[in-house]
Amino acid sequence: MALAWERCILVAVAILLTLSTSSISQEQPSGASQKKPVGVRVLKQDGDVPRFKAWLDEDVVWIITEEERAAYKLLKNDEERDQFVEAFWARRDPTPDTFENEYKVEHYHRIAYANDHFNTRIPGWKTDRGRIYIVYGPPDKIESYPSGRTKDETPKGEEPSLDPEEVWHYRYLEGVGIDVVINFIDACGCGEYQMKMPPEMKDAILSPPTGLIDERPDHRETHDPRLLLQPGNTPSIRFRDLEALLNTQPPPKAIPFEVRIDFEKVTSITFLVPVTIAVRNRDFTFVEESGVRRGRLKVFGRFTTLTGHVADVFEDSIEVTVPKSAASETDDITFCKKTFALNSGYYGLAIVVKDANAERAGTWVRRVVVARP
């Protein structure tokens, strides 16, 4: 399973640094028109605003609990809805002490996969297979019968069928049980496989998982929707020295690095935004440690909206180790990649890279347009 925040990938390859020509950080995706930034609309009290309505009915429709949905509909303004969305993801974050929310990014990766693989007359995320994939992830095993099942392939007690069929096997599903088998039948011959199983089993599988990371039992007692606006634990920034460099001049000896930003539309309002940072090995400062030469960079990045709200933060370290006898002054490149799930809109992206072994740093600041086509 791919995780929402990817760990730094150290790749040493003898190639020229070509990412600069493909960086599109300050450009708008092709086909997108200049629109008013998200966040400047005035919300109606009933929540009939595309961003919030789409988030409820599309982005999280399969994973939001009935309790959360009811509480969301009681909110009266955009500030409360924004707080709710932030707290919603925080309750599901498996690593609440870090800025990375692996669950959130993985969720949008699953939506993207469903749209790519299960799209028929309706978007992939709306199909039965898409729904199961989004909620539970990839099955442990898939049996495919594109021409239907023969008599020998049909389980005892069932009739053979000429309808295309897929059988998904899960060793365990939270809240459902072990050795779960889900049948999907393409009765229309149009590629739209629909789930076929007893109603009671179907209800259990289609119920949103309730095992949240940060459950609030006091909410069930008071039924106060405002308790669901509390984000819970807020991680603290580790690299304060790097954050300070965003507002000051970096050291005279700068570290050159390149940044590439890509965009993948996932829902009508949300994009996956992979950010790749590339540094030549010769721009590291190497020190000898235990018979090897080691270079280490600290990385800090921040997405902000036009109103100054911090939309996302990331921190990480990039490390390169070479044998003591090897030359480090090469054109080999080390990459660090992070992926974010962002609403369409206008953002500022600031990145700082600092050498952990010397007083050297580099900064990169651009406008990023995440826009609807």
- CA-based Rg of the chain, rounded to a whole angstrom? 24
pLDDT at 211: 52
Distance CA 312, CA 325 (A): 41
Instruction: Name the strand (E) or helix (H) holding 184.
Output: strand 177-185
**Model confidence band, residue 246 (pLDDT cutoffs 50, 70, 90):** confident
CB 317 within 8 A of CB 295: no
Residue 182, strand partner residues = 168
183 against 149, higher pLDDT? 183
pLDDT at 179: 94
φ, ψ for residue 67 (rounded to 5)? -65, -45
CB 268 within 8 A of CB 58: yes
Distance CA 107, CA 215 (A): 19
Closest of 164, 159, 153 to residue 193, by C-alpha: 164
Closest of 327, 299, 291, 286 to residue 99, by C-alpha: 299
Q: What is the arithmetic mean of pLDDT over 341-357?
A: 95
The contacts of residue 197 (CB under 8 Å, 6+ apart) are: 182, 183, 205
Distance CA 82, CA 72 (A): 10
CA 327 to each of CA 17, 284, 292: distance values in angstroms, whole numbers, following the listed order: 18, 12, 11
Q: What is the arithmetic mean of pLDDT over 205-216?
A: 63
Model pLDDT for residues 102-140, shown as the tens digit of each residue: 999 999 999 999 999 999 989 999 999 999 999 999 999
Closest of 199, 138, 122, 198 to residue 170, by C-alpha: 138
Q: Residue 347, class by beta-carbon neighbours within 10 Å (0-12 exposed, 13-18 middle, 19+ buried)?
A: buried
Distance CA 27, CA 37 (A): 15
Q: What is the pTM of this model?
A: 0.80
Distance CA 139, CA 182 (A): 10
Distance CA 272, CA 112 (A): 9
Model pLDDT for residues 10-65, shown as the tens digit of each residue: 333 333 333 333 333 333 333 333 343 444 333 333 334 488 999 999 999 999 99
pLDDT at 184: 95
Distance CA 298, CA 24 (A): 23
**Model confidence band, residue 225 (pLDDT cutoffs 50, 70, 90):** low
Residues 352, 356, 362, CA angle at the centre, nearest 5°?
25
Share of the chain above pLDDT 70, in %: 79
Instruction: Judge whether residue 157 has pLDDT over 50.
Output: yes
Closest of 217, 234, 236 to residue 67, by C-alpha: 217
Model pLDDT for residues 71-104, shown as the tens digit of each residue: 999 998 999 999 999 999 999 999 988 999 999 9
Instruction: Judge whether residue 222 has pLDDT over 60.
Output: no
Instruction: Judge whether residue 315 has pLDDT over 70.
Output: yes
pLDDT at 198: 84
Counts of helices then strands in the chain (DSSP H, E): 9, 13
Helix intervals (H) in 41-180: 50-54, 66-73, 78-90, 102-117, 128-136
Closest of 125, 140, 118, 122 to residue 184, by C-alpha: 118
Least confident range of 56-60, 153-157, 174-178, 211-215: 211-215
Q: Going by CATH, does the domain composed of 19-34+235-370 fall within 3.40.50.300?
A: no
pLDDT at 323: 85
Instruction: Judge whether residue 365 has pLDDT over 90.
Output: yes
Provide the mean pLDDT of the chain.
81
Extents of the domains making up the chain: 19-34+235-370
Q: What share of the chain is helix, strand, coil (3-state, %, to 5)?
A: 25, 30, 45
Distance CA 135, CA 130 (A): 9
**Model confidence band, residue 224 (pLDDT cutoffs 50, 70, 90):** low
Distance CA 296, CA 276 (A): 17
Distance CA 358, CA 141 (A): 51
